[in-house]
Structure 1
Amino acid sequence: MSLNLSFTRHALQFKFDARTSRGAISEHVAYYLRAWDTDSPDVFGLGECAPLAGLSVDYRPDLEEKLQQVVQLVNSGKMAQHSASGYLQELELQDWPALYFALETALLNLQQGGGWQLHNNGFSRSEEGIPINGLIWMGDKKFMQEQIEQKLKAGYTCLKLKIGSLDFTTELELLQSIREVAPGNSLTVRVDANGAFTPQEAFKKLERLAKYDLHSIEQPIRQGQHEEMAQLCAYTPVPVALDEELIGVQGSTAKAALLDTIKPQYIILKPTLVGGMAASAEWIQLAENRSIGWWVTSALESNIGLNAISQFTAQYNVAMPQGLGTGQLYHNNIPSPLQIEHGALWFRPTT
């Protein structure tokens, strides 16, 4: 393989200010990495590098400079390795998880002949859909209620609510309104606190949340508080899913130690944040060895990244709703074959 790389910058514009407990964002910058073989320049693979402010370890002012360095190094032809795995290892991108994911994806896409193809499975052959949760974004009570009504009408059987920005009583009222029209046996409800609770208040809030028959709560307290999180997971009335807690944890030894210390009920995998598909697969294996549940979630990628994450997820026999979508948040997303039908994601290429 005589590999060539290039990249382009694309500023994704939200249709509304996307709010989390860390604040609101109206723009998300993605870099598209293009990979091709010198002998076949018309066939290329694409990958997306789109780290998130406040979360990604490689959301840094020198990211673009790093992208340029990687492109120049590969294009120079001076690297010792000339295979996909060789390039990934030699570039040493452990501290650049979003960039690693982009290069990993671009190389896999190139190996599969370009287009939208990364894996050959029931999803990529348009034979099977992936069950997904409907995401309810933070906002005022009216905005959140409108989203809930839309998702229920669209046929979702699993909703995920971002909590932690409204008054807690108001958030409980929203959960109560959901349960009044959709009991636990007909609708699965997840909540995501994004670390908004303090360790001192978390257990009491979990007790109140438990009344609404919740599937799980993501990251109830801020990451890095392993002892406090372990205590919550041991006694929680609502199953706990680790999310931000996984960011920056590298190597199987460190990953296993985290799971063995905290003993969560679930983990949530975001390839952009944890270092790509191979890293996510390692987390999955470690979790399954410990009877810890898992699901995969996108991290506001455009449709380039979403497609890659979806096809990776479909490599597993998933029955639990995943945190995927079609990038409908953006005015200027990349058109793609991803479609949502009755609470499931489908791959529907036109040709």
Structure 2
Amino acid sequence: MRIRDFSLELARPLETAKGSISERTGFLVAVEHEGTLGVGEATPLPGWTESLEDCRVALDSVSDPGSALGDGSLDDTPAARHAVSLALTDATARAENESLATSLATKSHTSLPVNATIGDGDIETTVTDAETAVSVGFDCLKVKVGARDPTDDIERLRAVRDAVGSDISIRADVNGAWDRWTADEFLSGVADFDLEYLEQPLPADEIAGHAVLRRLHDTPLALDESLAHVSPERALASNAADVLVCKPMALGGPDHVLSVAKQAARSNVDVVVTTTIDAVVARLGALHVAAALPSTRAHGLATASLLQGDLAAEPVPVVDGSMTVPDAPGLGIDVDDLF
């Protein structure tokens, strides 16, 4: 197993309720499996995953990648586990001369709709960014909220809805910034906005609170950060969400996302796959995983433009709000270009 460290700056800081994100730092991992080389990525994001330091320690401790996945030694370091799991999955698909998505599912999507991410700017900036996204083909917008007074966020979303019209899907992402009363006030204020869903309004461990909000309001709820703090079984059993937002990096790899998706389907809960603003390897991995799921919702994979640069040329540009799934073996990227 080979490890390469990297650091990438964002094109501009992304403002969220948890603070500003200005760079992404992590590790590429190359694993040889049965004579075939596969590649994975670990890009930790504290709050969702382990720290960068703990990630490196965990990767350095791996002597047998396959055994490390099976024995649970990487379960407490999901970004490190993601890198190893993705690399092994990539190597297996390459050896079978199949795309990663095809190797994961008997029937997979060949293209997927994706959402545009709109940062937590003022009303004018938010509307401009939303209109720009729609003008280039996006029909789903994910707007960051939660850092402001909820009445200000309500007005931001009202302005976006008025600007883009009723045919555009709008999601709002709080990143767990509110208490139950603030979330209740906000949900009452946006009841007529036809939001696709409100994502993570309460802190990650407030599963019961999310369940209460879901009973009281018609706007669907999605859980994201909660899945890094409680088991999917608990989240589903609590009837706390209509949608689970699954970050392969935070959940520990493609295999864990597929497992969560199967559990969610049994509870009639949908799954949306998103990145943690990752580099090209993890983004491709997330795209293939999303393509292996039955969901037809827009996924949160259009994050390449948030980076100032990348580890390799983007093989899957967003066109008219959609991404085509590579049909080349494995991830669809040349490992030699990365190491």
Q: Shorter chain as normaliser: what TM range?
A: 0.7 to 0.9
Counterpart contact for 1:49–1:272, Cα < 8 Å: yes
Q: State, as a whole percentage, how many aligned pairs show the same letter.
A: 24
Residues 1-351 of structure 1 correspond to what in structure 2 (within 5 A)? Answer: 5-37=1-33, 40=35, 43-56=36-49, 58-59=50-51, 61-70=53-62, 73-74=63-64, 85-90=66-71, 92-113=73-94, 117-120=99-102, 128-184=110-166, 186-249=167-230, 254-334=231-311, 335-347=313-325
Cα offset, 1:267, TM superposition: 1.1
Q: Return the alpha-carbon distance in structure 2 between the equivalents of residues 60 and 7 of structure 1.
A: 14
Change in CA separation of 1:339 and 1:233 when aligned onto 2, cut-off 3 Å: same
Deviations 1:212-261 (A, max 9, x none): 11110001111112222221121123111011111143xxxx43233112
Deviations 1:305-348 (A, max 9, x none): 01011011111233211111251111221213111111111246
Deviations 1:108-142 (A, max 9, x none): 1112238994233799xx98310111111122333
- Looking at CA atoms only, which structure, 1 or 2, has the larger radius of gyration? 1
Change in CA separation of 1:316 and 1:55 when aligned onto 2, cut-off 3 Å: closer
Question: How many residues of Structure 1 are paired with residues of Structure 2 in the alignment?
Answer: 326
Counterpart contact for 2:223–2:243, Cα < 8 Å: yes
Look up the SS of the partner of 1:190 in the other structure.
Answer: strand
Counterpart contact for 2:32–2:91, Cα < 8 Å: yes
Deviations 1:279-312 (A, max 9, x none): 1112111111111122111111111001011011
Which one scores higher on RCO, CA 8 angstroms, separation ≥ 6? 2
Change in CA separation of 1:101 and 1:62 when aligned onto 2, cut-off 3 Å: closer
Cα offset, 1:193, TM superposition: 0.7
Change in CA separation of 1:91 and 1:305 when aligned onto 2, cut-off 3 Å: same
Q: Return the alpha-carbon distance in structure 1 between the equivalents of residues 268 and 101 of structure 2.
A: 26
Change in CA separation of 1:122 and 1:259 when aligned onto 2, cut-off 3 Å: closer
The amino acid across from 1:205 in the alignment is F
Counterpart contact for 2:208–2:240, Cα < 8 Å: no
Change in CA separation of 1:258 and 1:101 when aligned onto 2, cut-off 3 Å: same
Q: Return the alpha-carbon distance in structure 2 between the equivalents of residues 127 and 207 of structure 1.
A: 36
Q: Return the alpha-carbon distance in structure 2 between the equivalents of residues 284 and 153 of structure 1.
A: 32
The amino acid across from 2:241 in the alignment is P
Q: Return the alpha-carbon distance in structure 1 between the equivalents of residues 307 and 21 of structure 2.
A: 12
Q: Return the alpha-carbon distance in structure 2 between the equivalents of residues 117 and 31 of structure 1.
A: 23
Change in CA separation of 1:183 and 1:143 when aligned onto 2, cut-off 3 Å: closer
| More deviation, 300-309/334-343 | 334-343
Please report the RMSD computed on the Cα atoms of aligned residues, expressed in angstroms: 2.6
Look up the SS of the partner of 1:120 in the other structure.
Answer: helix
Look up the SS of the partner of 1:316 in the other structure.
Answer: coil
User: For structure 2, which runs of at least 5 residues remain unmatched after alignment?
Assistant: 327-331, 335-339
User: For structure 1, which runs of at least 5 residues remain unmatched after alignment?
Assistant: 75-83
Q: Return the alpha-carbon distance in structure 1 between the equivalents of residues 224 and 317 of structure 2.
A: 26
Counterpart contact for 1:326–1:338, Cα < 8 Å: no
| More deviation, 210-219/58-67 | 58-67
Look up the SS of the partner of 2:58 in the other structure.
Answer: helix
1:80 maps to none
